A and B are shown apart, each in its own frame.
Chain A
Amino acid sequence: MTTKLFGEPVRRREDARLVAGNGRYLDDLGAGALAVAFVRSPHAHARITGIDVDDAIDVEGLVAIYTWEDLPEGVREPLPLLIPHPALTHGRTAYCLAKDVVRHVGEPIVMVVATDRYVAEDVCERIQVSYEFLKPVVGLENAVEGPNLVHDDVPGNVGAHLVQEVAHRDGRATRDVIAAAPHTLTFRLDIERSACMPMEGKGVYARWDADDRSLRVYSSTQTSTSVRMAIAAKLGLPLPKVEVIAPDVGGGFGVKIVHPWPEEILVPWAARLLNREVKWTEDRREHFVSSAHERAQVQHVTVGFDDEGRVLGLDVEILHDHGAYTPYGIIVPIITSTQLLGPYKIGSYRVEFFSVYTNTVQVTPYRGAGRPQGVFCMERTMDKIAQYLGKDRTDVRAVNFIQPDEFPYDQQMIFQDGRPLIYDSGDYPESLRKLKDLIGWDDFPALQAEAAAEGRRIGIGVGCYVEGTGVGPYEGGHVQVTSDGRVHVSTGLTSQGQGHETVFAQIAATELGVPIEKVSVVTGDTRRFGYAVGTFASRAAVMSGNAIALACRKVKEKALQIAADALEADPADLEITDGMVHVVGAPSASIPLATVAVLSNPLRYAFDEEAKRATQFATGGSMEKPPVAEGQEPGLEGKDYYSPVRSTFASGMHAAIVETDPDTAEIRILRYAVVHDCGKMINPMLVEGQIHGGVAQGVGGALYEKMVYDEYGQLLNASFMDFLMPYVTEIPTIETDHLETPSPLNPLGIKGAGEAGVIPVSAVIAGAVEDAERIVIDKMPISPSDLYALRDSSRTSGAVSLLRNTQ
Chain B
Amino acid sequence: MHDVTLIVNGVPRHARVPARRLLSDFLRHDLGLTGTHVGCEHGVCGACTVLLDGRPVRACLTFAASVAGHEVTTVEGLADGDRLSPVQRAFAECHGLQCGFCTPGFLTTVTAFLRENPAPADDEAIEAVAGNLCRCTGYQNIVKSVHRAAELMAEEGP
Residues of A within 8 A of B (CB): 11-12, 14-16, 18-25, 27-28, 31, 116, 118, 197-200, 248-251, 253, 283-284, 496-499, 685-686, 688-689, 691-697, 719-721, 725, 727-729, 731, 733-734, 757
Interface flag for B154 (CB, 8 Å): no
Cβ A11 vs Cβ B139 within 8 A: no
Interface residues of B (CB under 8 A from A): 18, 20-21, 28-29, 32-42, 44-45, 47, 74-76, 78-79, 84, 88-89, 91-93, 95, 97-104, 107, 126-127, 129-143
Contact (A12, B99) CB under 8 Å given A21-B33, A28-B34: no
Q: Contact: A721 with B44, CB < 8 Å?
A: yes
Query: A20 — which chain B residues lie within 8 A by C-beta?
Result: 35, 75-76, 78-79, 84, 88
How far does the Cβ of A199 sit from chain B's closest Cβ, in whole Å? 4
Q: Can you list 18 A-B contacts with CB-CB less than 8 angstroms, sorted by A residue number?
A: A15-B91, A20-B76, A20-B79, A21-B75, A21-B76, A21-B104, A25-B37, A118-B20, A197-B135, A200-B99, A250-B100, A250-B102, A251-B135, A497-B97, A498-B98, A692-B138, A694-B138, A733-B140
- Note all chain B residues with C-beta closer than 8 A to A248: 99-100
Beta-carbon contact of B130 and A727 below 8 Å: yes
Name the residue on A nearest B74 (C-beta).
A21
Chain B: minimal CB distance from A505 (Å) = 15
- Give the nearest-CB partner of B129 in chain A: A728
Contact B98 A696 (CB under 8 A): no
Contact partner, B135, options A18, A198, A734, Cβ 8 Å: A198
Chain A residues in 8 Å Cβ range of B140: 692, 731, 733-734
Report the minimal beta-carbon distance from B49 to chain A, rounded to whole angstroms: 12
Q: Are B129 and A12 in contact (CB under 8 A)?
A: no
* A116 to B88 Cα, complex, angstroms: 33
Return the contact of B32 from the options A31, A251, A497, A719 (Cβ within 8 A).
Answer: A31
Chain A: minimal CB distance from B43 (Å): 9
Distance A114 CA – B97 CA, assembled complex (angstroms): 35
**C-alpha spacing A20/B130, complex, angstroms:** 22
B60 to chain A, nearest CB (A): 10
Residue of B nearest to A498 (CB): B98
A497 touches B129 (CB 8 A): no
- Central interface residue in B76, B92, B140, by most chain A CB within 10 Å: B140
The docked-state distance in angstroms from the alpha carbon of A24 to that of B41 is 19
Q: Which residues on A sit within 8 Å (CB–CB) of B74?
A: 21
- Whether A19 lies near B103 (C-beta < 8 A) is yes
Q: Please, which residues of chain A bring their CB within 8 A of the CB of B91?
A: 15, 19
User: Which chain A positions have C-beta within 8 A of B134?
Assistant: 199
Q: In whole angstroms, how far apart are the Cα atoms of A105 and B90 in the complex?
A: 43
**Contacting pair A499 B35 (CB below 8 A):** no
Please give me the residue from chain B that is nearest to A729 by CB atom: B130
Docked pose: A689 CA to B94 CA in angstroms: 10
Chain B nearest Cβ from A8, distance in angstroms: 13
Task: Assess the B79–A200 pair: CB atoms within 8 A.
Answer: no
- Once the chains bind, are B92 and A728 in contact (CB under 8 Å)? no
Given A20-B79, A250-B37: A729 touches B100 (CB 8 Å cut-off): no
Contact A16/B47 with A253-B135, A719-B40 known, Cβ cut-off 8 Å: no
Looking at chain B's contact residues, the main secondary structure is loop
Give chain B residues whose Cβ lies under 8 Å from the Cβ of A250.
Answer: 37, 39, 99-102
User: What A residues does B88 contact at CB under 8 A?
Assistant: 19-20
Contact B99 A198 (CB under 8 A): yes
- Given known pairs A11-B93, A15-B97, A27-B28, the reply for A21 and B36 (CB within 8 Å) is yes
Instruction: Tell me which residues across on chain B come within 8 A of A693, comparing CB atoms.
Output: 98, 135-138
Q: Roughly how many angstroms separate A144 CA and B56 CA in the complex, as a whole number?
A: 51
Which 8 A/B pairs are nearest by Cβ-Cβ distance? Answer: A21-B35, A497-B99, A250-B101, A692-B138, A18-B100, A696-B138, A21-B75, A28-B34
Q: Which residues of B contact A11 (CB under 8 A)?
A: 92-93, 95
In the complex, A107 Cα to B44 Cα: how many Å?
A: 25
Q: 9 additional contacts, CB 8 Å, given A19-B88, A728-B132?
A: A20-B79, A21-B76, A24-B34, A118-B20, A250-B101, A497-B136, A689-B98, A693-B98, A720-B133
Contact in complex: A695, B138 (CB < 8 Å): yes
User: In the complex, what's the smallest C-beta–C-beta distance from B89 to chain A, in angstroms?
Assistant: 8
| Min C-beta distance of B79 to chain A, whole Å | 6
Q: Which residues of B contact A731 (CB under 8 A)?
A: 138-140
B143 contacts A19, CB within 8 Å?
no
Distance of A754 from chain B, by nearest CB (Å)? 11
Q: Which residues of the partner chain A approach B97 to less than 8 Å between Cβ atoms?
A: 15, 18-19, 497
Residues of B within 8 Å of A25, CB to CB, are 34, 37, 101
A199 in contact with B102 (CB, 8 Å):
yes
In the assembly, what is the distance between CA of A116 and CA of B21, in Å?
Answer: 11
Find out whether the CB atom of B101 lies under 8 angstroms from the CB atom of A200: yes
Q: Could you tell me if B107 and A19 are in contact, using CB atoms closer than 8 angstroms?
A: yes
For the complex, give the distance between the alpha carbons of A15 and B137 in Å: 14
- A193 to B36 CA separation, bound complex (whole angstroms): 31
Q: In the complex, are the beta carbons of A27 and B131 less than 8 A apart?
A: no
CA distance A413 to B28 in the complex (A): 51
Q: Which of B20, B33, B34 has the most CB of A within 10 A?
A: B34
CB distance from A718 to the nearest CB of B (A): 11
Smallest CB–CB gap between B93 and chain A, Å?
Answer: 7
A253 nearest CB neighbor, chain B only: B135
Q: Collect the chain A residues with CB atoms within 8 Å of residue B84's CB.
A: 16, 19-20
Q: Which residue of A lies closest to B137 (CB)?
A: A693
Q: Distance (Å) between the CB of B74 and the closest chain A CB?
A: 7
How many whole Å from B86's CB to the nearest CB in chain A? 11
The one of A22, A725, A728, A757 that contacts B35, using a Cβ cutoff of 8 Å:
A22
Q: Distance in Å from the Cβ of B75 to the closest Cβ of chain A?
A: 4
Task: Knowing A728-B130, A728-B143, say if A118 contacts B18 (CB, 8 Å).
Answer: yes
**Cβ contacts under 8 Å, A497 to chain B:** 97-101, 136
- CB-nearest residue of chain B to A17: B100
B39 near A200 with CB under 8 A, answer yes
Distance, CA A199 to CA B37, complexed state (A): 9
Most buried by A among B28, B41, B98, B139: B98
Q: Is the CB–CB distance between A199 and B93 below 8 Å?
A: no
CB distance from B28 to the nearest CB of A (A): 7
CB distance B100 to A685 under 8 Å?
A: no
Q: How far apart are the CA atoms of A725 and B103 in the complex, in Å? A: 17
Given A497-B100, A693-B135, A731-B140, is A199 in contact with B130 using a C-beta cutoff of 8 Å?
A: no
B92 in contact with A15 (CB, 8 Å) = yes
Task: Give Cα A31–Cα B101 distance, bound, in whole angstroms.
Answer: 19
Q: State the CA gap A324–B143 with chains docked (Å).
A: 41
How close is B54's CB to chain A, nearest CB, in angstroms?
Answer: 18
Determine if B133 and A727 form an interchain contact, defined as CB atoms under 8 angstroms apart: yes
From the candidates A28, A251, A727, name the one contacting B136 in the complex (CB within 8 A). A251
Which of B126, B131, B138 has the most CB atoms of chain A within a 10 A radius of its CB? B138
Q: How far is the CA of A721 from the CA of B127 in the complex (A)?
A: 19
**Which residues of chain A are near B75, meaning CB under 8 Å?**
19-21
